Amino acid sequence: MEHFIKFTNQSQGRDRIFRATQYTCVFLRYLLRNDSAREEAVKKLQGLESSMSSGRKLFRLGNTVNSLDAAKRTLRLSDPVLRFCLTVSNLNRALYFICDNVLWARNVGLLRDLDKERWRLNASRYYYFALVMSLTRDAYVIAQIMVQRARHRQKAGQQMDGHAAGASHFLPKVDAFLSLLFESLRNHPPVVLDTVKNVCDLLIPLDRLGIYQTNSGVVGFCGLLSSLLGVLSLARPSLKMAP
């Protein structure tokens, strides 16, 4: 109970819970869309989804500053690939939150003459680019782990049979590659968690931008899954990927 209270006292924790509820509503509305007996339930789910979305926009009012501060920190990373990917990702997140804040101001009536659809598309674009850079970071980290594992395998093989198999001539088959991938990620759950979460999140802007259109059921399920993974990584910091 103490951990739950600590989690819900964080603004990020409340945002994750609201997000999970929002996408649960999206997913359930899709499942009940053809059930005429559940029309009232569908309307209630739509209203709850809208409330959760508005609440999340309020929680995110300060996230632009947080993203800019994160970009300042990632600029100091020694690895050039990580430095580039994470800094660009954080800057795009900052731009996304600016658009989100403007949309919140429009919804509460602070801004009137505003092209709402244009700002929504811009927000989706920045969110998309942020996720692409995050996934690029994930792929880079996974590649590094696999290289280290392959070297460990090679070293172990040399000790066992007394001869080296040149890494430059090593062309693994699909099953060998998958085996290496599984072994590499088995002891790195934060990388797996972050990659799955980003892949799920990526489908949301892809659908909104018309790049890869699915349906609200897929969007709702992917949003719910990524939200639950976000809750897990926030509740257990050891599962959060760093940097």
DSSP category for residue 26 = H
pTM for this predicted structure: 0.85
Among left, alpha and beta (phi > 0; psi -120 to 50; other), residue 210 is left
Place of tokens 């759950």: 189
- What does the pLDDT profile of the chain (243 residues) look like in tens digits? 455 445 444 667 788 899 999 999 999 999 998 888 888 999 999 999 999 988 888 878 888 999 999 999 999 999 999 999 999 999 999 999 999 999 988 888 888 888 889 999 999 999 999 999 999 999 999 999 999 888 887 777 665 554 444 444 444 477 788 888 888 888 899 999 999 999 999 999 999 999 998 999 999 999 999 999 999 998 888 888 887
DSSP string computed for 161-189: HS----GGG----HHHHHHHHHHHHHT-H
DSSP, collapsed to helix, strand or coil, labels residue 129 as: helix
Residue 21 · residue 52 · CB < 8 Å: yes
Count of CA atoms in the C-beta half-sphere (13 A) of 168: 0
